[in-house]
Amino acid sequence: MAGGWTRDGAVNEQIEASISDELARMKQNRITGESRTHCAECEEPIPEKRRNALPGVKLCIDCQQERDSHFQARGGINRRGSKDSQLK
């Protein structure tokens, strides 16, 4: 089913492209390397269970929760380019 002036399947292509972009962003930010024994920010010991569960972990639970609580805005991509999507 085409919407307006778009060809059949264009909406699905946009959705797939958005999903692919997000997966690539998540892979890029993935933690790698050896886990630290002490937190990179507060120097508190990181429990062995956490280090085993998350290879490459650098922060203790408290510091990670603090970092996660901060809102990080990402610029969206207006794939459609329609007037309605630009007004939002």
The pLDDT score that the predictor gives to residue 84 is: 57
Whole-angstrom Cα distance, residue 71 to residue 83? 28
Range 14-28 average pLDDT: 85
Tokens at 70, concatenated: 């901060």
pLDDT at 67 over 70: yes
Q: Is 50:61 a contact under the CB 8 Å cutoff?
A: yes
For residue 48, what pLDDT band results from cuts at 50, 70 and 90? very high
Closest CA to 44 of 61, 67, 68, 69: 61
